[in-house]
Chain A
Amino acid sequence: MPAQTLPQVPIKKGEPAYKLWLFEPGWKGELPLITNPRELAEKKRPALLPGHRLCAGCAAPIIVKLASFAFRGPTIVVTATGCLEVATTIFPYTSWAVPWIHNAFENSAATGSGVEAALKALKKTGRLPYDHVDVVVFAGDGGTYDIGIQALSGAAERGHDFLYILYDNEAYMNTGIQRSGGTPKYAWTTTSPVGKVLPGKMQHKKPIAEIMVAHRIPYVATGTPAHWLDFIKKVRKGIEVDGPAFIHALSSCNRGWRHDLHLTLEISRRAVDTCYFPLWEWTPETGYMLTDRSLAIARNPKLKQPIEKFVELQGRFRHLLKPENRHLLKELQEYVDQVWEDLLNRASNAPR
């Protein structure tokens, strides 16, 4: 690795990147939230180390990397079984520079609850050498929408102080692209393939973020790695808030969505531009608030792109571009428009 000359604090010259994440007992303070790219490159290091074995062009490590830029101090990460967990911890290697635990598939929120409770008990009895340790849970759509929803809902209801980041690649990607509750309608997956009779998954994507809003937890937001500044700020808010926070991050998968490797961020951008995946945040005090590009689109509806712009880059939707499937594409467009209108009606900062 070429020698890096870096400013002293908080990174020491020549020291490996992971040492940034060693918080000596008694550490106090708060890591700053840096939004300037140059400053970020100089002062921050990701909590995810290189050498992980996620696919080339995967959005999940970008999401984890950006999230770790927003960590404010000692943080414990819990991860559900899935692409992220498996590819970053193939024994004996680990790509995590922070304390990390993987338990099972459906219980990342329950495990996070246990960690959070343990930290409270340790602090109460003077055995925690820090003012505060944050708990961040990363789970895929598999471990959240379907098998993991019980644990998530329970943890949200009990009010544990943690941030749950859902990296949604819209199928059970790690086991080979099977459909999940997060797969959009008409998407091809191996368990909802496009055949002579059925054109892919026949059910709509479960509105997981709205389900979390219904729990009335202190903070819910959506984000994508392409809108990195928006995402980093939301992660920080999620960590700072006292109680459960939920961020739904769109994590494109070039293997499962069948797109070119380099288009990972382009696709996230188009997901937002077509209002397929609007960017918003919600708190009990402010209600829905559009952010970033979605706010711009609300103010200037001409910026909204047709759903083809999102669909055309992905092989999993290829059948929708055929002339005989025009009606399916139209249905999808109507659905996206309907959900977008609904969001505009609810968002407190959408123009009336």
Chain B
Amino acid sequence: MSQLRGWKELPLGAVAFRLSTDYKTGDWRALKPVVDHNKCVKCMLCWIFCPDMAVIWDGEKIVINYDYCKGCGICAHECPVKAIQMVPEFEEG
């Protein structure tokens, strides 16, 4: 948030004026999920369970939206075929 608005530019009734899709929570991660598409059986459980709506089904394969993924690891844990691995977000050293 660079320039904060003055009161004359804020909407009436203190309603929120931006969608949170503008706020990228992906930088919260310490671990990130990586999908092995060969193992994935497209059961959609990772899509169903992701608390951050960061798993996308694009019609053909599962894609992780790293803009929002917080690295909780639920998708990797719930995957019945262990197709998702949690790897460190940052390189060692």
Contact = CB atoms under 8 A, between A and B. Distances in A.
Contact of A51 (B25, B49, B51): B25
Interface stretch (A42-50, A157-165, A215-223, A300-308): A42-50
Nearest to A38: B44
Given A49-B53, A50-B65, A95-B20, A261 B44 contact: no
A245 interface: no
A91 B65 contact: no
A2 B56 contact: yes
Interface stretch (A56-64, A143-151, A187-195): A56-64
A17 B55 CA distance: 13
A93 B20 contact: yes
B53 A65 contact: yes
Contacts of B45: 37
A61 B23 contact: no
Contacts of A59: 51
A53 interface: yes
A343 B48 CA distance: 30
A133 B44 CA distance: 30
A282 B67 CA distance: 41
Contacts of B51: 54, 56-62, 65, 264
Contact of B71 (A42, A51, A56, A264): A56
B76 A228 contact: no
Contact of A91 (B14, B53, B72): B14
A56 B58 contact: no
Classify chain B: how many residues form its interface, as a range: 35 or more
Given A50-B21, A93-B18, A62 B59 contact: no
A5 B47 CA distance: 16
Contacts of A88: 20
A91 B13 CA distance: 12
Interface string B23-55: 111001100000000000011110111111110
A42 B72 contact: no
A320 B3 CA distance: 52
A263 interface: yes
Interface string A75-108: 0000000000000110111110100000000000
A41 interface: yes
Classify chain A: how many residues form its interface, as a range: 35 or more
A327 B5 CA distance: 59
Contact of B19 (A3, A18, A65, A263): A18
A41 B14 contact: no
A339 interface: no
B6 to A, nearest CB: 13
A50 B52 contact: yes
Nearest to A51: B20
Contacts of B20: 49-53, 88, 93-95
A330 interface: no
* B52, B54, B67 — most chain A CB neighbours (10 Å): B52
A228 B54 CA distance: 18
Contacts of B47: 37, 40-41
B56 A261 contact: no
B91 interface: no
Interface in A238-284: 260-266
A54 B47 CA distance: 18
A266 B77 contact: yes
B22 interface: yes
A2 B18 contact: no
Contacts of A2: 56, 58, 63, 65
A315 to B, nearest CB: 17
7 contacts: A18-B21, A37-B45, A42-B57, A50-B21, A50-B68, A56-B71, A225-B49
Interface of A: 1-6, 16-18, 37-38, 40-42, 46, 48-54, 56-62, 65-66, 88-89, 91-95, 97, 225, 228, 260-266
Given A56-B28, A261-B72, 4 more contacts: A5-B59, A50-B20, A50-B54, A65-B53
Pairs A-B, 3 closest by C-beta atoms:
A262-B73, A51-B20, A57-B72
